[in-house]
Amino acid sequence: MLVSDNLIELFHIGHQYQRPHWALSDVSLRVKKGDFVFLTGPSGSGKTTLLKIIFREIIPSEGQIVIEGVNILRIPDHGIYKLRRMMGIVFQDFRLLFHRPVFENVALPLQVLGVPPKEIRRRVFNALRMVNLQHKLGDPPAHLSYGEQQRVAIARAVVNAPKILLADEPTGNLDTELAFEIISLFREINKQGTTVLIGTHDKELIRHFGSKILFLQAGKLLGKDALPSPES
Amino acid sequence: MRNLFSVTIICLSFLILGIFWSLSNNLQQVAARLGENLVVTLFLNKDLPEKDALEIRDKAGRSPVIESLRMVTADEAKERFQASFPELRDVLANLKANPFPASIEAVLRPDRAGPDAVAAFLQSMTATAGVEDVQYNRDWIERVRSLGRLTRAIGLFLGGILVLASFFIISNVIKLNVLSRKNEIEILRLVGGTNTFIRIPFLIEGTILGILGGLVSLVFLAVLIQAFPLYLGSSLGALQELLSFRALSISQGLALVAGGAVIGWLGSLTSVSKFLKA
Ligand SMILES: Nc1ncnc2c1ncn2[C@@H]1O[C@H](COP(=O)(O)OP(=O)(O)OP(=O)(O)O)[C@@H](O)[C@H]1O
Ligand SMILES: [Mg+2]
């Protein structure tokens, strides 16, 4: 068996939401264990679609996708939880339980694992402290600002120390300073072994933190493995 | 509100099922009691000399199906009638002659009273001079039994339809509950919840609804069983025994509640599963 350090591999992925238009076409890429990757491109270029395909919310119209050597398109519906448990995901639209306290929202990934309550409390406090929200843990997201909601979503994504962190516009509603703080946090987590894939069109961030950059344009990945700098 | 609705529906269907069940219980019991003593009554010709009557008795006694025999004189028959229908005492007193015939009551041996043997006995007695008429209560038992079977069949049919209906109603009520928590289910799946983990609260909810429906229907049934004889009074006369409700046995009651639980569980299982894709 071939030993590889590829964590996420996409082969000729194409996706059509509606008939004539391809949201993604022929996207092939590899993400190695421990990588810190920005996925960028103009609005509508397919960043969110690509991320959704990776966490299997969307089954692509074409192509195959392998994560940790497993073809995730072959996982039956009742087995997807194993894939999701390796991942922390920050959704572009947050997907929080709007009327439940912040604490409960962040605790969800631990609760589904059956982590004991004491341990849950410890880890949730930690995660909330990382995003500067420890004082809001009793409030429902409905009472928080967009930026605060975004940070709740980030805390929930990292609370479980996942193998893979997928973040879709995680700084979209944050001021520059806070955005830098969040990406620095992701860097920290990355150093502890988590592979990070961030979808963003914030050129400032990419310029500052960018190591590996994937550039999407109208559903096509530019430059294949050779990653162009955003300026080019 | 929705939950109240589904409990009511389950309760109603089980109530109807239970009413028929209880009625058929009773009919079966009556049939069983009648079956304990198979009696053939030989009505004798009026003014048959006692000597001839005794001869008929002896002839009957030689049949292997007979357990015991008893002579009932015309006077005895009259007294019996007066005892069971005291209201009619005056009517009887106005009659000059005793209208009741003397008879011989033959109790059959249940172990030997096969259909052929009994038929042969009945035939030979009908053919005997001095015997006016032969009455055999097995016809009655058969009638009561088949009434019991019919009641149960109707009950199963109606109950079955209603139980099916309540299954769909529960499943739809749960579906509405699931729909209103669709967002939550999606999020749970996205953060790695297993299908079982997500299903459990809904399954518990459905099962509780079903059990509640079953229990409430048992309560109503008990009230009905208590109230029914009071309401009808004794106006039914002899029919009352046939129509009175007999309470369900403990195991029948448990079966009803368990049935509710199963319906609730299945109903919610089918409705949640639709939302556990992708
Ligand atoms: N549910 C959907 N149904 C139909 N078309 C869709 C759907 N979601 C996305 N699209 C289309 O797919 C293309 C890619 O969308 P996607 O959301 O992946 O872009 P994006 O790069 O994430 O954009 P943004 O930067 O604005 O978030 C767009 O043309 C969009 O109109
Ligand atoms: Mg997007």
Residue recorded with tokens 């139980």: B163
**Pairwise CB contact (< 8 Å): A97 & B276:** no
CA distance A52 to chain B (A): 11
Judged by its nearest atom, the ligand closest to the C-alpha of residue A22 is: 1
Domains: count for chain A: 1
Average pLDDT over residues B49-68: 85
Coil, strand or helix at A55:
coil
**Pairwise CB contact (< 8 Å): A55 & B188:** no
**Interface ipTM:** 0.89
In sequence order, the β-bridge partners of residue A220 are A217
**Pairwise CB contact (< 8 Å): A55 & B190:** yes
pLDDT at A116: 97
Above pLDDT 90, what percent of chain B? 7
pLDDT class for B67, splitting at 50, 70, 90? Answer: confident
Q: Ligand 1 centre from A46 Cα, in Å?
A: 6
pLDDT at B189: 93
In a domain, A228, yes or no: no
* Chain B positions with Cβ closer than 8 Å to A: 183-184, 186-195, 197, 276-278
Average pLDDT over residues B138-144: 68
Does the pLDDT at position B234 exceed 60?
Answer: no
Chain A hits for B193, Cβ within 8 Å = 81, 108, 112
Q: What is the pTM of this model?
A: 0.70
In a domain, A227, yes or no: no
Q: Residue A81's closest chain B neighbor by CA?
A: B192
If we measure between CA atoms, which residue out of B38, B60, B41, B37 comes closest to residue B104?
Answer: B41
**Pairwise CB contact (< 8 Å): A57 & B183:** no
A112 in contact with B at a CB cutoff of 8 Å? yes
Chain B hits for A82, Cβ within 8 Å = 192
pLDDT at A96: 95
A75 in contact with B at a CB cutoff of 8 Å? no
Q: Residue B186's closest chain A neighbor by CA?
A: A95
pLDDT at A67: 96
Instruction: Quickly list DSSP for A61-111.
Output: SEEEEEETTEEGGGS-GGGHHHHHHTEEEE-TT----TTS-HHHHHHHHHH
In a domain, A69, yes or no: yes
Give, using CA atoms, the residue closest to atom 29 of ligand 1.
A44
Residue B51, class by beta-carbon neighbours within 10 Å (0-12 exposed, 13-18 middle, 19+ buried)? exposed
Indicate the DSSP class of residue A19: T
pLDDT at A214: 93
In a domain, A104, yes or no: yes
Q: Which domain holds residue A113?
A: 6-222
Question: Regarding beta strands B103-108 and B66-72, do their DSSP bridges make them parallel or antiparallel, or are they unpaired?
Answer: antiparallel
Q: Ligand 2 centre from B235 Cα, in Å?
A: 80
Q: Which of residues 161-220 of A touch B (CB under 8 A)?
A: none
Long-range CB pairs of A77-80, under 8 A, 24+ apart, other chains included: A77/B195, A77/B276, A77/B277, A77/B278, A78/B194, A78/B195, A78/B276, A80/A56, A80/B189, A80/B278
Name all residues whose Cβ lies below 6 A of ligand 1.
Answer: A 17-18, 23, 41, 43-49, 92, 201
Architecture in CATH of B37-137: 2-Layer Sandwich (3.30)
In a domain, A167, yes or no: yes
B97: its two tokens: 């002659």
**Ligand 1 atom nearest to A49, measured from its CA:** 18
A77 in contact with B at a CB cutoff of 8 Å? yes
The partner residue sitting opposite B192, judged by closest CB among A77, A97, A109, is A109
**Pairwise CB contact (< 8 Å): A80 & B189:** yes
pLDDT at A227: 47
**Ligand 1 atom nearest to A216, measured from its CA:** 21
Average pLDDT over residues B107-121: 75
Judged by its nearest atom, the ligand closest to the C-alpha of residue A216 is: 1
Judged by average pLDDT, the poorest of A53-57, B9-13, B41-45 is: B9-13
**Pairwise CB contact (< 8 Å): B195 & A77:** yes
Give, using CA atoms, the residue closest to atom 14 of ligand 1.
A46
Does the pLDDT at position B195 exceed 50?
Answer: yes
**Ligand 1 atom nearest to A92, measured from its CA:** 27
Chain B hits for A55, Cβ within 8 Å = 190
pLDDT at B270: 84
Written as tens digits, the pLDDT of chain A (232 aa) is 455 789 999 999 999 999 899 999 999 999 999 999 999 999 999 999 999 999 999 999 999 999 999 999 999 988 999 999 999 999 999 999 999 999 999 999 999 999 999 999 999 999 999 999 999 999 999 999 998 999 999 999 999 999 999 999 999 888 888 899 889 999 999 999 999 999 998 888 898 887 799 999 999 998 654 444 444 3
List chain B domain ranges: 2-33+141-277, 37-137
**CA-to-CA dists, residue B125 to A99, B17, B257, angstroms:** 88, 45, 53
**Pairwise CB contact (< 8 Å): A77 & B184:** no
Give, using CA atoms, the residue closest to atom 2 of ligand 1.
A17
In a domain, A232, yes or no: no
Does the pLDDT at position B216 exceed 80?
Answer: yes
Judged by average pLDDT, the poorest of A201-215, B31-45, B258-272 is: B31-45
Residues 6 or more apart whose CB falls under 8 angstroms from that of A58 comprise: A15, A49, A52
Average pLDDT over residues B92-108: 81
Residue A22: CATH number of its domain: 3.40.50.300
**Pairwise CB contact (< 8 Å): B190 & A89:** yes
